[in-house]
Amino acid sequence: MENVAKITFNRPDRLNTINTALRWDIYNALEDIRKDDNIGAVVITGAPRIREKEGKKEIKYCFSAGWDMTEATAGGPGEGPPVDLMDYVQDFEKPLIAMVNGYALGGGNELAMRCDFIYASENSEFGQPEIDRGFIPGWGGTQVLPRRVGLSQAKRIIFTGERISAKEAERIGLADVVVPMEKLEETTLEFAKKLASKAPLAIKRIKEVMNKGIDTDLKSGLKLELEGRDFLVATEDFQEGIMSFFEKRPPKWKGK
């Protein structure tokens, strides 16, 4: 897919709920992608549930309905990856796009928010339903959601546990782009390919600087930016970018 990788959650019968095994699968897939210099961007999505009902095919679309709560009655989740998966997703050095088609609830919504971008179909629904189970979002929802949509909007979503539509998610800044379902994959992949064509070292450093800078004061953030600029000026990719500009040709990035 032109330097774009795609990760698909494949537990459709459980609405792609996240158990310990899936956490390991996500981590291992991203580790493989991280080591592959040919991949410049990643799309993360979920497989739809397809069932036969009364002679008709019933399709339920779902990114992820969150934590698989059967683990709560089985002694809790098993030992997961060697890092906090949500932090790992957020800090992943390549651009990540959550392609949401259907439900993104609880931990599914939290994982989508840890990606750099959320592209969603018009039929999607977002929410943090933990309040109706007597507990709290535990994969970053109370902290990441306010940073995306503001404190009062985040409280509304988390306090009530109600689902919001894709259009509402787009309006408040939770979803970045919302399109008709039939155009979702095409639109998402087009954007992913655009990101994958950019200078990989610059993308990596920009993402790091912005993710760290947003949680600090302006002076400290500007210092991070200066350090990033000084690092990139000394790279082969920077020289290639300058030369391609003057030679009026597309740059050929080396990641060096």
Q: Which two tokens stand for residue 23?
A: 């956490």
| CA gap 20, 44 in Å, rounded | 18
**Is 110 annotated as catalytic?**
yes
Catalytic residue among 54, 93, 130, 186: 130
Three-state SS annotation for the chain: CCCEEEEEECCHHHCCCECHHHHHHHHHHHHHHHCCCCCCEEEEEECCEEEEECCEEEEECEEECCECHHHHHCCCCCCCCCCCHHHHHHHCCCCEEEEECCEEECHHHHHHHHCCEEEEECCCEEECHHHHHCCCCCCCHHHHHHHHHCHHHHHHHHHHCCCEEHHHHHHHCCCCEEECHHHHHHHHHHHHHHHHCCCHHHHHHHHHHHHHHCCCCHHHHHHHHHHHHHHHHCCHHHHHHHHHHHCCCCCCCCCC
Which of 54, 79, 110, 247 is flagged as catalytic? 110
Task: Indicate if 93 belongs to the active site.
Answer: no
Q: Which residues are catalytic?
A: 110, 130
